[in-house]
Amino acid sequence: MLEAVPMSHSRTVQTRLVLPPDTNHMNSIFGGKVLAYIDEIAAIISMKHAKMETVTASFDSVDFFSPIRSGEIMEVEGLVSATGRTSMEVYIRVSSLNIETKERKLTTESFVTMVAVDGEGKPQLVAPVYAETEEEKRLFESSPQRRAHRKAKREMPHSFF
């Protein structure tokens, strides 16, 4: 068994300026662009935690709350919120900052499952995490319900239409 590490060990923040090529006809960032940034930071966060390569197993949830407009600053932040034997649940939140109005908004929240793998793609053990702050405790304590939901989804029959 690997030694537990604090959730803060994997905390990562990326800051970006939203520019016109990033936006749609409504002058807000494309949702797919936000998803790409979430996937990228989830990989970085999980690799920091696992100290090895990781792959995306699932986007468990993505909730868009408000748009990010061209010219606003976008912050994408996250950490490993829970672990299994080889998997990591990564919590990510995206916020925007309007420089003119000074308004800061939560725009997106997401949970992504990442799996640590070796060079041949075989799953590898990851260290458990522990919470230090109240926010981390809330995320950690609510993780069993999300894990049960993921498991139930995997067990559901799939249809194409």
Q: What is the pLDDT of residue 115?
A: 98
Q: What is the pLDDT of residue 155?
A: 82
150 — pLDDT class (breaks 50, 70, 90): confident
Tens digits of residue pLDDT in 83-116: 999 999 999 999 999 999 999 999 999 999 999 9
Tens digits of residue pLDDT in 2-38: 899 999 999 999 999 999 999 999 999 999 999 999 9
Catalogue all structural domains in the chain, each as residue range(s) with its CATH number: 5-148 (3.10.129.10)
Contacts of 58 (CB under 8 A, 6+ apart): 112, 113, 150
Percent helix, strand and coil across the chain, each rounded to 5? 30, 40, 30
pTM score, whole prediction: 0.92
Q: What is the pLDDT of residue 66?
A: 97
Q: What is the pLDDT of residue 151?
A: 84
